[in-house]
Amino acid sequence: MKKDHIVVLTGAGMSAESGLKTFRDHDGLWENHSVYDVATPEAFQRDPDMVQRFYNMRRAQLETVQPNAGHFALVKAERHFDVTIITQNIDDLHERAGSSNVLHLHGELTKARSSIQPDLIVNWGYGPIENGDKAEDGSPLRPHVVWFGEPVPAIEQAVEICRTATHLLVVGTSLVVYPAAGLVHETPQNCRVTLVDPGDMSESPIAHARHVQKPAGQALPSLID
Ligand code: BJW
């Protein structure tokens, strides 16, 4: 029987070595728009074409990239431990690497949904959502992602998962976006916490934790072995 339950909270840095940009490194801009300009329901109301272009571009890019050594190391960890991945990422690289238990907090790029009924979701794939594409209820289709100001339906399930963790591994997230960042406070007191991030995490809510200051693709294979 596997007795350790490793919970892995991943963010954009997990997929950086696959070639997907993070949100807050670099200039943080897409065609001169910040993430706060494109990842909100207000932006979708104001300029749906612009928002759809942003996500169409990311869907097309996702089809061309591959999981990296960090993703594969987490799959290998399943040989010895119960592993649950809670990801803030909307890409499908954990699944494509072969991880068995993945919970998406902020939605999935390869799905689309009704713009009025959040649980009317369809598998979409990597193609563009075009102007005029409609959900079953007749409303415009939108990406199945969680924008700022929208509820995070998977958060309660994520909290329950964290409560059974023996080890929390936090990989490639700046921990500035809530409620996801608050999950680091939901683990049992004796849970070991490890942070994997090449950046300076001294201001993070778990600055006290063991910090492996390296990219995920380098750090995770040696941590898992
Ligand atoms: C590497 C690496 C390598 C580099 N290896 N590491 C004030 C105003 C408005 C809102 C709020 C407010 N105060 C609080 C809020 C709430 C708000 C929030 O948290 N805002 C903060 C910014 C302050 N949160 C929300 O609105 C959430 N909803 C909510 O609270 O609902 C309440 C509610 C209840 C009931 C009814 C209604 C409402 C929703 C948050 C949704 C976030 N959505 C996004 C977009 C998703 C779709 C998409 O991808 O386009 O999620 S925003 C964006 O940020 C995305 C990410 O998942 C998320 C987190 O980013 P992440 O992953 O941490 O990336 P970065 O770039 O920040 O960090 C990368 C890290 O990787 C860095 O540390 C690098 O060093 C590291 N790195 N290379 C390892 N190779």
- For residue 31, the model assigns a pLDDT of 66
Annotated binding residues for NAD(+), written as ranges, equal 11-30, 88-91, 172-174, 216
Q: Which of 92, 123, 145 is the last residue of a domain?
A: 145
CATH number of the domain that 136 lies in? 3.30.1600.10
Domain boundary among 145, 164, 196: 145
* Total of domains in the chain: 2
134 and 224 belong to one structural domain:
no
Specify the pTM: 0.97
88/61 Cα distance (integer angstroms):
18
Which SS3 state, helix, strand or coil, does residue 16 take? helix
* Residues whose CB is less than 8 angstroms from the CB of residue 74 and which lie 6 or more positions away in sequence, other chains included: 8, 83, 85, 94, 97, 99, 220, 224
Helices (H) and strands (E) in the chain, counts: 7, 11
The bridge status of strand 102-104 relative to strand 107-114 is unpaired
Residue bearing tokens 């300076």: 200
Q: What is the pLDDT of residue 3?
A: 82
Tens-place pLDDT, residues 69-84: 999 999 999 999 999 9
Is 140 found in the same domain as 95?
Answer: no
Q: What is the mean pLDDT of each run of 10 residues along the chain (225 residues)?
A: 89 96 78 83 94 95 98 97 98 98 98 97 98 95 97 98 98 97 97 97 92 98 91
- d(Cα 183, Cα 163) in Å, to the nearest integer? 9
The answer to whether residues 128 and 149 touch, using CB atoms and an 8 Å cutoff, is: no
pLDDT at position 149, please?
96
- Say yes or no: 167 and 76 in one domain: yes
Residues 101 and 118 in one domain: no
Predicted complex: ipTM over 0.85: yes
Is the same domain home to 82 and 138?
no
Report how far residue 160's alpha carbon sits from residue 191's, in angstroms, rounded to the nearest whole number. Answer: 14
Residue 50 sits in which domain range?
Answer: 24-64+110-145
Q: In this structure, are residues 10 and 173 in contact, taking their beta carbons and an 8 Å threshold?
A: yes
Q: Do residue 121 and residue 180 come from a single domain? A: no
Catalytic residue positions?
Answer: 106
Q: Please tell me the distance between residue 176's alpha carbon and the centre of ligand 1 in angstroms.
A: 6
Give the domain CATH number at 89. 3.40.50.1220
Distance 1 CA to ligand 1 centre (A): 36
Pocket of ligand 1 (CB under 6 A): 11-13, 16-17, 22-25, 35, 39, 88, 90, 106, 145-152, 171-174, 176-179, 196-199, 215-216
Same domain, 215 and 168: yes
Q: Do residues 165 and 191 share a domain?
A: yes
What local confidence, expressed as pLDDT, does residue 2 receive? 67
User: Do 72 and 141 belong to one domain?
Assistant: no
pLDDT for res 34: 84
Residues 90 and 174 in one domain: yes
Q: Domain check: are 114 and 59 in the same one?
A: yes
How far is residue 14's CA from residue 74's CA, in Å, rounded to a whole number? 11
Which ligand 1 atom sits nearest the alpha carbon of residue 145? 47
pLDDT score, position 71? 98
**C-beta atoms surrounding 172 within 10 Å:** 27
